[in-house]
Amino acid sequence: MLPPVQRRTFMATSVASLCASAFGAMPAKPLGKGRPIVIASSNGLETVKLAMDLIKKGHDPLDAAVAGVGIVEADPSDHTVGLGGIPNEDGVVELDSAVMHGPTHGGGSVASLRNIMHPAAVARLVMKRTDHCLLTGEGALRFAKMHGFPEENLLTDDARKFWLYWKETVSKNDDRIPPPIDELDPAVKAFFGPRYVREYGTIHCSALDTHGNLGCTTTTSGLYFKIPGRVGDSPIIGAGLYLNNDVGSAGSTGRGEANILNCSSFLAVEEMRRNPDKSLKDCLIESCKRIAATNRDKRLQDAKGRPNFNVRFFAVRKNGEFAGASLYAGVKMAVHDGESARLVDCSSLYDEVLDESL
Ligand code: GLY
């Protein structure tokens, strides 16, 4: 395993990495007359600010979204995306991401990508510089390096400590001995506190530009401590994101397996297409209902037969309407309407807030 990232190394590499997040971006064009909107999951407040800034300078909506999520991909304190993401069960960070571009209806994605901080930008190059939609693992890494992305260790010291403690406590019947609670590193204690959730975090960003064109991306380090090679919904077009440039754009965070099994983001955009007069939040609730209706595995149900996990959807329509909806309440989303960036409440299928703590 490569040594963990130290702060000085991070600062030196992050400059090169942030430049890499622009690989494949297009030059700016003259502005149109439409009102731009950028939305993201709740960890994307800075994302929507940067993306809106770029859109107002005439940049393509996909390029704006990819640059915006690049902030979170480079943020070591977000443990669900990019650098600092929680590793797989072997202690290796594996990233998934996809992009879609409205004007061309193009899409690209990468899955199980190691050592590259900006998988969304690599996904954009898969879309632009190959005849394919999805590259995985070693092939995706070689493709990224070929295009000049720097290879670096994405396992931060904190994430390594969280993984080590998880490894030491996952079974009582093996040879590992966790430290006594009063000797536990404060960062580890805080991470595995009473609200600990084995997260399916992620960031989604959808952008509508002044010409009424859409672009979107979803990027993630996926499920904490996953089986190596596990791929979630984020790089699966139709599951973790989808757009139709005549209709709107949607993406999701949460239990990726539920989205893969229901093509949930595609379903949300299709619902929008078929029902132009239906409110956007109700279109997203349809995807939530579909997940609830098909969740037949008792292992994944609560005492009332409802899903025991959350899935969240975020969307923008071509007319600028935006909304978010989730299975359980208490979810927020980030939005920039051209005037200001803020967090707003999402709707939910169930009124309760899911107690996801273990
Ligand atoms: N939605 C992120 C994942 O399941 O990996």
For residue 330, report the distance from its CA to the centre of ligand 1, in Å: 19
Q: Supply the pLDDT for residue 179.
A: 84
43 lines ligand 1 (CB under 6 A): no
Atom of ligand 1 nearest to the CA of 231: 5
Other CB atoms within 10 A of residue 357 CB = 9
Is 200 close to ligand 1, i.e. is its CB under 6 Å away?
yes
The answer to whether 255 and 200 have CB atoms below 8 angstroms apart is: yes
What the block records as the tokens of 174 is 């093996």
Distance of CA 98 to the CA centre of its chain: 9
Specify the pTM: 0.92
Atom number in ligand 1 closest to CA 256: 4
Burial 320-345 (b: 16+ CB within 10 A, else e): ebbbbbbbbbebbbbbbbeeebeeee
Q: What's the fold here for domain 32-155+195-353?
A: Glutamine Phosphoribosylpyrophosphate, subunit 1, domain 1 (3.60.20)
Distances from the Cα of 191 to the Cαs of 22, 253, 255, 334, in angstroms?
32, 20, 20, 24
Q: What is the pLDDT of residues 104-154, one digit of tens each?
A: 999 999 999 999 999 999 999 999 999 999 999 999 999 999 999 999 999
Task: Indicate the top mutation candidate among 69, 200, 217, 309 to test ligand 1's pocket, ranked by most ligand atoms within 8 A of CB.
Answer: 200
Contacts of 249 (CB under 8 A, 6+ apart): 100, 102, 206, 207, 208, 214, 215, 216, 241, 242, 243, 269, 315, 316
The answer to whether 274 touches 246, Cβ cutoff 8 Å, is no
What ranges make up the beta strands (E) of the chain?
A: 37-41, 95-101, 106-113, 134-136, 203-208, 214-220, 241-244, 248-254, 311-317, 322-326, 332-336, 341-345, 347-348
Cα 352 from Cα 186, distance rounded (Å): 31
Q: How far is the CA of 8 from the centre of ligand 1 (A)?
A: 30
Quick: pLDDT tens for 224-240.
999 999 999 999 999 99
User: Measuring from atom 5 of ligand 1, which residue has the nearest CA?
Assistant: 222
Q: Say yes or no: CB of residue 94 within 6 Å of ligand 1.
A: no
Would you write out the chain's pLDDT as a tens digit for each of its 358 residues? Answer: 444 554 444 444 455 555 677 888 999 999 999 999 999 999 999 999 999 999 999 999 999 999 999 999 999 999 999 999 999 999 999 999 999 999 999 999 999 999 999 999 999 999 999 999 999 999 999 999 999 999 999 999 999 999 999 999 887 777 788 888 888 888 888 888 766 666 667 999 999 999 999 999 999 999 999 999 999 999 999 999 999 999 999 999 999 999 999 999 999 999 999 999 999 999 999 999 999 999 999 999 999 999 999 999 999 999 999 999 999 999 999 999 999 999 999 999 999 998 654 3
In this structure, the residue with its CA closest to atom 1 of ligand 1 is 256
Burial class, 319, CB count within 10 angstroms (exposed 0-12 / middle 13-18 / buried 19+): middle
> What residues are annotated to the active site?
202
Residues 6 or more apart whose Cβ sits within 8 Å of residue 174: none
Vertex 8 angle, CA 46 and 78, to 5°: 35
DSSP per-residue letters across 228-278 = TT---STTSBTTTEEEETTTEEEEEEE-HHHHHHHTHHHHHHHHHHH-TTS
Expressed in angstroms and rounded, the spacing between residue 27 Cα and the centre of ligand 1 is 32
Q: Which atom of ligand 1 is nearest to the CA of 253?
A: 1
Nearest ligand 1 atom, CA 255: 4
